[in-house]
Structure 1
Amino acid sequence: MAQYKFDAVKRYSLSHQVVEKLIELVNSGQLKSGDLLPSEITLMKQFDVSRPILREALSSLESMDIISRNPGGGKFINKKIGSTPFRAMLSISMDNIVAIIEARMSLEVGLVMLAAEKITNEEIAKLEETIEGIRENIDKDYGRYDIEFHKTIANSANNPVLEGMITSLLLTHEKTNSLIEFREPKLTIAHHESILQALRERNPTEAAIQMHKHLTFVKDKILKGLEHSQKEN
């Protein structure tokens, strides 16, 4: 088996730092698409980490489609790794909540402007269904309908590069929304309906204004929850 040049990971590191090291090996060309990863024991020794930390890192890489399981055993670098660089960067920055929120705001405001020009009647109907889903689950967990609303807009922009980026960002939805201390579903519905109306009218400027208003509302709630969480710790 080929020998790779590893740097040990410091003991206080989290699993995402192992993810970063493995991504560096790919970026440097030491690991290539289709290559079989060294055994877990080898990786544990080379990175100087425990098995749970290593497995958490490998699980993250697998969820990002950077590595896949080999039917014959072991894991290998995905041959489509080039399609998921944004997920890799996002994994490394998962603890930077502010950066994630800013990235999402910048991306979605632009996406909704494209969507206003390209959205189909079928996609309009799908957005209506997600709003109804929130309304019917107003006292329950309506998160999946919220995510579906934003994913539908991303898909309707009909841009595979931007779609891949927002899909990756929406993977952080559960983590960021867990910081929100209290829900205001009626306001969420009102914001979504305003965005939807601008899309119905095929008005990019108004769609951008309404999306920015909605995401600013979400950002303020998340940052307030983050501030309280940090004070408690």
Structure 2
Amino acid sequence: MDNKSVDIKSLSRKTLSNQVIDEIISLLTTGQLKPGDRIPSELELMEICNVSRPVIREAMTSLEVLGIVNRKTRNGTFFSDKIGSKPFSMMLALSATNLSSIIDTRVALELGLITLAAEKITDEDLEKLRNLIEEMKALPTEDSSEIDKEFHKVIALSAKIPLFEAIIDPLQSFHHKVLEQIPLEDRNLEQTIEYHVDIYNALKKRDPIEAYASMYRHLDFVRQKALKNLKK
């Protein structure tokens, strides 16, 4: 058989580093290791992955920056016990110029969270929401963004999903940038308060369907205002 020339690109260190990252994360996804477990040493990883020490160190540094692993000087490197907000923050940072995508992400997440919050919310959390509405009513300006942020955070945490708790703060921070695009005269505080009262009443009744509908009306109102101003 005649030999044929083939074009195979050599792998760069960056590509190798990414492959090592995938292999290390697969130790978690396949159940070979669990959160909090010790990761094989650099020498062991070099042998397993068949790469050099610099490649391993580059991969471990990236994983540490993301908060996926923790390095302990003498004891080795361990998977984090729970997921942090860094991976989500970096994902959102990369999407920072696509504000409409951030708006839609918030809508998708919050509509799911509120249905669970309606089932799990405590009387204490309901009291927090009621107090925040009263604070909103007493505002001297149309800008209710900070109170609104806290209102939605209380609801999100009420769903009691640890994985989502890690994304709440970075998502809210980026969404705050979206709200800054809406002029105060377009925010309509009176209408905003009405939406929040409807959401509160639905949650108080522990009605996930009504809570979903109330949250959608509120978020769609904000979304339409934001998109209108983003297009200008």
Band of TM-score, shorter chain? 0.5 to 0.7
Query: Matches of residues 34-113 of structure 1 in structure 2 within 5 Å?
Result: 80=80, 82-84=83-85, 85-113=87-115
Q: Which residue of 1 aligns with 2:60?
A: 32
Structure-2 separation of matches of 1:215 and 1:35: 35
Are residue 125 (structure 1) and residue 153 (structure 2) matched? no
- Further displaced range: 219-228 or 154-163: 154-163
Larger CA Rg, structure 1 vs 2: 2
Output the amino acid matched with 2:59: L
| Residue of structure 2 aligned with 1:203, choices 207, 215, 218 | 207
Output the amino acid matched with 2:155: I
Percent identity of equivalent pairs? 37
Q: CA deviation at 1:79?
A: 7.4
Contact 1:33-1:79 within 8 A present in 2 as well = no
Are residue 168 (structure 1) and residue 173 (structure 2) matched? no
Contact 1:154-1:166 within 8 A present in 2 as well = yes
RMSD over aligned Cα atoms: 3.2
Contact 2:142-2:187 within 8 A present in 1 as well = no
Q: 1:127 to 1:26 in 2, by over 3 A?
A: farther
Q: Which residue of 2 aligns with 1:39?
A: none
Q: How many residues align?
A: 176
Q: Which residue of 1 aligns with 2:182?
A: 180
Structure-1 separation of matches of 2:110 and 2:162: 14
Q: CA deviation at 1:131?
A: 1.0
Return 5+ residue gaps in structure 1 as ranges: 8-22, 37-60, 67-77, 229-233
| Residue of structure 2 aligned with 1:155, choices 154, 157, 165 | 157
User: TM-score when scaled to structure 2?
Assistant: 0.66
Output the amino acid matched with 2:221: F
Contact 2:83-2:166 within 8 A present in 1 as well = no
Q: CA deviation at 1:108?
A: 0.2
User: TM-score when scaled to structure 1?
Assistant: 0.66
Structure-1 separation of matches of 2:231 and 2:21: 36
Q: CA deviation at 1:142?
A: 2.7
Q: Deviations over 1:158-202 (max 9, x none)?
A: 111122223321111321001112221111100000000000000
Contact 1:34-1:79 within 8 A present in 2 as well = no
Structure-2 separation of matches of 1:26 and 1:91: 24
Q: 1:132 to 1:25 in 2, by over 3 A?
A: farther
Contact 1:107-1:166 within 8 A present in 2 as well = no
Q: 1:35 to 1:95 in 2, by over 3 A?
A: closer
Q: Which residue of 1 aligns with 2:231?
A: 227
Q: Deviations over 1:193-220 (max 9, x none)?
A: 0000000000000000000110000000
Contact 1:108-1:166 within 8 A present in 2 as well = no
Q: 1:27 to 1:132 in 2, by over 3 A?
A: farther
Structure-2 separation of matches of 1:133 and 1:65: 36
